[in-house]
Structure 1
């Protein structure tokens, strides 16, 4: 009897719990060939989150011992790329950020989520990081910079996955059920919090530890 994974976007769970999985892992090579910074524009419910989860499990250095278990029976397991299990993985999931409230509330929620993600990263890779990451509760960009400093002391680079950015942006735009361009602009203007974060990400990709 087939077990279908409708609504499940956790690749590790799907494989280890023997859910039905349509093998698209051969596309990993195509993704690598496409470039370093990629934006997926597929519609909602088209498997973007599952794709990111698959990439997370494929590239995570901490899951090298599970490679055969997770990918051995899949296409990429028969012909893996040299980059598998070679990165430290950080994931930001914008769907969990509360997009309600005033601009100050949005900024606070954004900083909290990124700080929580960076703290999770620090705990997961504590055995590989010689430098202690400093979390700045008021400034997640500072926390991210501290993480980059720690990463540069290792032989690895960071693979950053960002999920549901479009969902968060839509929720911000539709504040309290009404279209609110001012809320959206406040976050994405040149001085906006979200734009500031992505400037930090762009800077990190210029030889500062980000893949």
Structure 2
């Protein structure tokens, strides 16, 4: 969807040209292409013009953190309708924010968020999808400065949660997450076999072990830079997460 794509920093929304027909008939039409919706969001001020891509098409980005929050909240409403899913999310996120405990959070994401995908979505699955789901699950801009694809020296951390200065007196931790993705076929086994494995058995699979090691190496480098920038006030927890086939998580 346009909302999902707008959150993708790596591949900004693009359209060949801005639409300008926003009459009643056009607005009431049940099906509109991404170009129309992108143009409408631009004229409403919730997208801003960026550079042109290699094909000369206009790129659009989210203008600021306030508007970005609206996109995340819209996704959360779509993925987690109702009181009880939101309460589950709040409990898992609060535990993670304060302790760094990933278990309940990953259980929640597997049960509530990854379940919305079906087999047709697997060909589009990648780290971006996983990162977006964690952003939706963890979003708390009252306590954190949250950023995806955080520029760290010469690299980019997938998702960072840095405590706001006025919130450092509370029981919160800074977090940096790095995500990797594997398709079922990369594990050399059928989907049904993977569903039966325990979390620990998943971690022991060589492709999963390699991906976790890659992520942990990146995180160790990022930690050095962040500790140099933030100094002693930083209470950083780093987390390497591998998603398998948009169905299972290992860390």
Taking structure 1 as the reference length, what is the TM-score of the superposition?
Answer: 0.38
Structure with higher Rg: it is 2
Greater fraction of residues in strand? 2
Taking structure 2 as the reference length, what is the TM-score of the superposition?
Answer: 0.33
Which of structures 1 and 2 has the larger relative contact order (alpha carbons within 8 angstroms, sep 6+)?
1
